[in-house]
C-alpha cells in the first residue's frame, strides 16, 4: 500500500468516526425531538386544559360512577382524594378535590401523572382545570387542596358505566 493511499484511508476513517459519533448523539437528540413533536401535534397531551363545545348536551339517561384514586411514588407526601367516588351524567361538569400534605421538613416538588381505566377514557375525559397541569411545590408540613374540573363526553360508549381516574405524584429533581 502506498503512502498516499494510507493517508486517504485515515482521512476517511476520521470522517466516518465523526459521523458515527454524530449518529450516537442523534439517538439522544431523538428524545427532545419526540417531546417537541408530541407537543406540537398534541399527541400525549397531559399538561394542557381541554377545550369543550359550550353546547354539549347532558345525557340524563346515563349515570357513570367514577372511582378516584391517588398514589405517591418516591415522595414524602400524603396524597388522597376527598371523595372516593362520584356519580355524574355524561356531559355534566363536576369538580372533585384532592389533598396533598408534605410530611418532610424540606421543600419538595412533584408532578402528578394521570392514568385511566379503561384506557380509552382518555379520549372522552375533558379536563378544564387540574393540579396535574403544573408542578406542585410544597413547603415543609404544607397541606394543599386542589380541584380537578372535568366533564365526560356523552360520546363515551354506552356499555361503560364505571371508570377510574388515577393520579400518581412523582418526585421532580430539585431545580426542575
Partner 1 sequence: MAVVQDVHGHHDHHPSGIMRWVTTTNHKDIGTMYLWFSFAMFLVGGFLAMGIRAELFMPGIQILEPELFNSFTTLHGLIMVFGAIMPAFVGLANWQVPMMIGAPDMAFARMNNWSFWLLPVAGALLISSFFVPGGAAAGGWTFYPPLSAQGGLGVDMMIFAIHILGASSIMGAINIITTILNMRAPGMTLMKMPMFVWTWLITAYLLVLVMPVLAGTVTMLLTDRHFGTSFFNAAGGGDPVLFQHVFWFFGHPEVYIMILPAFGVVSEIIPTFSRKPLFGYSSMVYATASIAILSCVVWAHHMFTAGMPAVGQLFFMYATMLIAVPTGVKVFNWTATMWRGSMTFETPMLFSIGFVFLFVIGGFSGVVCAIVPIDIQVQDTYYVIAHFHYVLVSGALFAIFAAVYYWLPKWAGRMYDEKLGKMHFWLSMIFFNVAFFVQHFLGLAGMPRRIPDYSLQFADFNMISSIGAFGFGLTQLLFLYIVIKCIRSGEKATDKPWEGGSTLEWTLPSPAPYHSFETPPVIK
DSSP code, position 131: G
Cell match 397531559: residue? 46
Show the binding pattern over residues 54-73: x = contacts partner 1 (CB under 8 A), - = does not.
-------------------x
The reply on whether position 20 binds partner 1 by CB under 8 A is: yes
- Kind of pairing, strands 162-171 and 64-73? parallel
Show the DSSP H helices in 42-133 as ranges: 121-124
Q: According to the binding rule CB under 8 A, does residue 51 interact with partner 1?
A: no
Give 96's strand partners. Answer: 148
Judged on CB neighbours under 10 Å (0-12, 13-18, 19+), 148 is buried
**Only segment of 24-32, 95-103, 126-134, 139-147 that touches partner 1 (CB under 8 A):** 24-32
Q: Which stretch binds partner 1 (CB under 8 A): 14-22, 77-85, 90-98, 148-156?
A: 14-22
Among 58, 113, 146, 160, binds partner 1 (CB under 8 A): 113
| Among the listed residues 121, 110, 136, the one whose alpha carbon sits nearest the alpha carbon of residue 166 | 121
Binding residues (CB under 8 A) for partner 1: these are 1, 5, 8-9, 12-13, 16-17, 19-28, 30-31, 34, 41, 43-44, 73-74, 111, 113, 170
Amino acid at each position: 500500500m502506498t503512502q498516499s493511499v494510507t493517508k486517504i484511508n485515515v482521512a476517511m476513517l476520521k470522517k466516518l468516526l465523526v459521523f458515527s459519533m454524530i449518529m450516537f448523539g442523534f439517538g439522544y437528540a431523538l428524545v427532545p425531538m419526540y417531546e417537541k413533536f408530541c407537543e406540537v401535534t398534541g399527541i400525549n397531551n397531559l399538561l394542557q386544559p381541554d377545550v369543550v363545545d359550550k353546547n354539549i348536551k347532558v345525557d340524563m339517561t346515563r349515570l357513570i360512577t367514577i372511582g378516584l384514586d391517588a398514589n405517591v411514588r418516591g415522595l414524602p407526601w400524603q396524597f388522597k382524594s376527598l371523595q372516593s367516588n362520584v356519580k355524574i351524567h355524561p356531559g355534566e361538569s363536576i369538580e372533585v378535590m384532592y389533598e396533598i400534605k408534605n410530611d418532610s421538613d424540606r421543600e419538595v416538588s412533584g408532578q402528578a401523572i394521570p392514568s385511566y381505566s379503561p384506557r380509552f377514557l382518555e379520549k372522552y375525559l375533558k379536563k378544564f382545570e387540574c393540579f396535574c397541569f403544573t408542578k406542585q411545590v410544597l413547603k415543609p408540613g404544607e397541606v394543599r387542596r386542589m380541584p380537578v374540573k372535568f366533564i365526560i363526553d356523552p360520546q363515551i360508549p354506552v356499555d361503560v358505566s364505571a371508570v377510574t381516574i388515577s393520579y400518581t405524584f412523582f418526585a421532580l429533581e430539585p431545580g426542575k
